[in-house]
């Protein structure tokens, strides 16, 4: 991804056909926490900088709840959920993270996009796979035409969890034969990849960021494990015109 400045916001951007994606960074401690005045101001600035008509995001609750955004609404953190799907052009959708996994999903043929917030709870409850299922069932997408971007998050190198949580994941049939951990270090990325492949997404269509929010040194990123309650939020978004 290329790092660019949009007014005072540093954004890592990527384009695929007509799809445009981006991840904001923590340069200058930029914060996108939507329930703060700073976050609201930065969301407005990003919307204006990208020249989109609508911006939609959810009040994230670490669930597997999926919401559809249409032309009749501009969701602004009032509805609870952790995955947002739309087929509307000129609509920016995204998720807020500071260690959890941001996942962007899109079908170029059907012009359908999704943004997913997948922490360990959402990952355990297969929110990414369920989002793809919804795109297939409700929007006539096909698994082999779906592409995915897994954004910066706390990676296996730093994501130490309890043995109980490792056992909880390994007890699931989907992960029982997968190399999803090294001791107590869990890879949410490998779990999400297993979900995607299980539903038929081509592994070649899964793009991954190599940035770990906790130990990355060259790019400023927010990390809840590093900064606790004082941590800001990054915004990972997708849209098309």
Give tens-digit pLDDT for 54-84: 999 999 999 999 999 987 667 788 899 999 9
Query: Any bridge partners for residue 45, and if so which?
Result: none
Of the candidates 176, 167, 39, 29, the residue with the CA atom closest to the CA atom of residue 94: 39
pLDDT of residue 27: 97
Architecture (CATH level 2) of domain 2-153+204-240 = 4-Layer Sandwich (3.60)
Yes or no: say if 94 and 76 are a contact pair by the CB < 8 Å rule.
no
pLDDT of residue 73: 66
Q: What is the mean pLDDT of the chain?
A: 96
| Segment among 116-120, 123-127, 165-169, 173-177 with least mean pLDDT | 173-177
pTM: 0.97
C-alpha–C-alpha distance, residues 193 and 213, integer Å:
19
Q: How confident is the model at residue 241 (pLDDT cuts 50, 70, 90)?
A: very high
Domain segments of the chain as ranges: 2-153+204-240
Q: How confident is the model at residue 166 (pLDDT cuts 50, 70, 90)?
A: very high
pLDDT of residue 71: 76
Q: How confident is the model at residue 105 (pLDDT cuts 50, 70, 90)?
A: very high
Yes or no: say if 49 and 13 are a contact pair by the CB < 8 Å rule.
no
At a CB cut-off of 8 Å and minimum separation 6, what does 171 contact? none
For the chain, give the percent of residues with pLDDT over 70.
Answer: 99
pLDDT of residue 75: 75
At a CB cut-off of 8 Å and minimum separation 6, what does 12 contact? 1, 2, 3, 22, 23, 24, 25, 219
For the stretch 199-233, pLDDT in tens is 999 999 999 999 999 999 999 999 999 999 899 99
For the stretch 106-152, pLDDT in tens is 999 999 999 999 999 999 999 999 999 999 999 999 999 999 999 99
Mean pLDDT of the region 17-44: 96
């Amino acid at each position: 991804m290329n790092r660019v400045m949009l007014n005072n916001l540093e954004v890592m951007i990527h384009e695929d056909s007509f799809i445009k994606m981006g991840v904001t960074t923590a340069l200058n401690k930029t914060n996108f926490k939507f329930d703060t005045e700073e976050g609201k101001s930065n969301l407005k600035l990003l919307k204006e900088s990208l020249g989109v008509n609508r911006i939609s995001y959810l009040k994230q609750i670490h669930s597997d709840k999926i919401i559809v955004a249409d032309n009749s609404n501009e969701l602004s953190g009032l509805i609870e959920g952790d995955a947002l799907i739309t087929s509307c052009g000129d609509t920016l959708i995204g998720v807020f993270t500071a260690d959890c996994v941001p996942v962007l999903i899109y079908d170029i043929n059907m012009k359908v996009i999704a943004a997913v917030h997948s922490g360990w709870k959402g990952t355990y409850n297969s929110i990414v796979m369920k989002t793809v299922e919804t795109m297939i069932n409700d929007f006539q997408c096909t698994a082999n035409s779906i592409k995915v971007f897994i954004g910066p998050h706390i990676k296996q190198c730093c994501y130490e969890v309890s043995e109980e949580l490792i056992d909880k994941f390994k007890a699931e049939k989907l992960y029982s034969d997968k190399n999803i951990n090294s001791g107590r270090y869990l890879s949410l990325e490998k779990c999400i990849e297993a979900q995607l492949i299980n539903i038929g997404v081509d592994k070649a269509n899964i793009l991954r960021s190599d940035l770990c929010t906790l130990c990355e040194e060259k790019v400023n990123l927010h990390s809840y494990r590093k900064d606790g309650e004082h941590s800001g939020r990054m915004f990972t978004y997708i849209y098309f015109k």
